[in-house]
Structure 1
Amino acid sequence: MCSVFDVNDDAGIERFLEDYGVHNPQRMLFGRRRRPTQQVSIVTARHGRPEVENAIWHLYLERDGENWKPHRKYWSINSNWQKLDKRPEYHNSRCLVPATAWVESLHGKNPVEFSYGQPFFFCGLYKTWGDILSCSIITISAHPKTRKYHEKSLPMIAPADKHFVEQWLKGGHDTALFEPYLQLHIEYAGQPLAVQPLVRATSTEYAGDRVILG
């Protein structure tokens, strides 16, 4: 379960977005330790081209007077890969979530930060609520090398592949292209995943050395 992530503005996000032809990078919301129900930046192609938009990180919302807020009965910051084919958003409303790191823990203890040393995209889903967008991050099963840090899952990372990104944002019911990426892998753009212990899940203070999961 991915419940905290970073979008570090010192890590070349704007250049990363430019490489993928993403418009409106000036809309990006930066910050470390982004949390559920906050506004986060996503990439959609709902207007015909990939562009940065901002969304509430909680897929299901409910009315709160004239506004929308995270639904109290449906905790929906993540979407499990095993249920994707039953989700209309998987076919019609796929998005990408720019990030530079994420945080996991084991039964709520011993939090760690995962990173690749470069920006990447989480694969996600989005919904529209009038003028408001909401989103979730797709999770896959934990990799054998990451289970000691978080036994349940890993976020789905988009490969560093422009064709994949284009097809992911395009929408459509033919999702066979994505099946290999629902399997377990922890490398990104030829780089191994790194992990580093934290003092607390929401802290930026480290409690140990960085380890490469090669």
Structure 2
Amino acid sequence: MCGRLNITDDPWVTQILLDFGIENPYEPRHLGRFIRATQEISIVLEEKVKATTGPMTQRRVQSAAWWLLQEATANGFQPSRYTSFNSRYDKLFVPSSAAYHPFQSSRCIIIANGFGETQETGKVKRYFDFRTAHEPILFAGLYRIWQHTHQHAPFYSCSIITLPPHPKLQCYHDKASPMMLPNDRDLIDAWLDPDFHHVEAFRPLLMPSLYQPLWVQEVDKPSTYQPIGAEHCIPSDN
């Protein structure tokens, strides 16, 4: 998956957040037609918090750097030299991989209206934008929390899990496809639950699937996204 997202402020996104039980679905929200890897994005997560009645979990929206591995600097953190805006599906069960521990208990969801892919053939690059028509995409993500010695507030980073290329998307990007989740309440609850460690239950999700139709448009380049040719619809698998 190429590292760019399309996240706009529309009622579908807000409604999804409300459906997920987010008390304040409006902050923090990082919006943009062309959001690149390493930039701040908004993730949905569920964390343990202290309460008067004892430990509990809280679901909320959190700002996170879209690059899972970070390196400490004098003033904070910066993206690691190791590429990690995506986490490969075949590394999730490998204990030595960077994605292993987050997959066990630090899973998140990135809600977006669309994403971009790049197809390279020799020296020729073609750029494609994908969007949904009636509901946002729920990307399966992982996150980590970092603590700087000179800063009190924790720093969050994240990645999007990638799968083998979906047959319907392979002509637009033949290396991988992003992992998307169905909007199923029980599944979402399990995915976000930091105490749900039976990750074998998620294996069926590691086969690429389109849970909703996608509209695809070739563009001149990601930063200007001027259309080339006609937009057309890729049907869902359902």
Q: TM-score, normalised by structure 1?
A: 0.93
Tell me the amino acid that sits aligned with residue 212 of structure 1: C
**Shift in Å, 1:11:** 5.2
CA contact (8 A) 1:187 1:193 kept: no
1:119 to 130, 136, 157: 136
Q: Please list the CA deviations of residues 66-87 of structure 1 after superposition, one character each: whole Å capped at 9, or x if unmatched.
A: 3111112x11000000111121
Q: Please list the CA deviations of residues 149-181 of structure 1 after superposition, one character each: whole Å capped at 9, or x if unmatched.
A: 100111101111111111001033211221111
Aligned length, in residue pairs: 210
**Shift in Å, 1:193:** 2.2
CA contact (8 A) 1:2 1:139 kept: no
1:109 to 96, 107, 125: 125
Task: Tell me, yes or no, if structure 1 residue 98 matches structure 2 residue 129.
Answer: no
CA contact (8 A) 2:181 2:211 kept: no
**Shift in Å, 1:65:** 0.3
Match of 1:195 in 2: 216
Match of 2:187 in 1: 164
1:134-173 matched pairs, under 5 angstroms: 134-171=157-194, 172-173=196-197
Q: Please list the CA deviations of residues 33-90 of structure 1 after superposition, one character each: whole Å capped at 9, or x if unmatched.
A: 1111111000110141221000001001011103111112x11000000111121110
- RMSD over aligned CA atoms reads 1.4
**Higher mean C-alpha displacement, 19-28 vs 50-59:** 19-28
- Distance in 2 (alpha carbons) for counterparts of 1:178 and 1:204: 35
What secondary structure is seen at the aligned counterpart in 1 of 2:230? coil
CA contact (8 A) 2:179 2:208 kept: no
Match of 1:25 in 2: 25
- Distance in 1 (alpha carbons) for counterparts of 2:33 and 2:215: 17
Tell me the amino acid that sits aligned with residue 75 of structure 1: T
**Shift in Å, 1:201:** 2.1
Structure 1 segments unaligned to the other structure (5+ residues): none
**Identical aligned pairs, as a percentage?**
33
Match of 1:65 in 2: 74
CA contact (8 A) 1:23 1:52 kept: no
Which has the greater radius of gyration? Answer: 2
Task: Tell me, yes or no, if structure 1 residue 43 matches structure 2 residue 51.
Answer: no
CA contact (8 A) 2:86 2:161 kept: yes
- Distance in 1 (alpha carbons) for counterparts of 2:23 and 2:30: 14
Structure 2 segments unaligned to the other structure (5+ residues): 49-56, 95-99, 148-153
